[in-house]
Amino acid sequence: MSKWEKWKEAQGNTRPWHMFDPSKKVEDIKIAEDRLSICKDCPEFIHLTSQCKKCLCVMTLKTQLQEAKCPLGKW
């Protein structure tokens, strides 16, 4: 599998533009908070930019999407 294919797989089915669709967000903000807490404890989390080293997503946003998944399977 190429690096591009691995990166696309790590992205899952969520896309940045889903942030603009309220139906794509989690209904309970506690879920997003719990996910972000898990990310912040992960060695792959870049604290300066709030990004994941594996998928390069901004985790403060990705954790709010209901169909989003951690590329490492942590949530």
* Residue 39 CB neighbours (<10 A): 24
- Whole-prediction pTM: 0.81
Please give the mean pLDDT across all residues of the chain.
Answer: 92
Is residue 63 within 8 A of residue 39, CB to CB? The reply is yes
The rounded percent of the chain whose pLDDT value lies above 90 is: 71
pLDDT digits (tens, 9 = 90+) for 10-45: 777 788 888 899 999 999 999 999 999 999 999 999
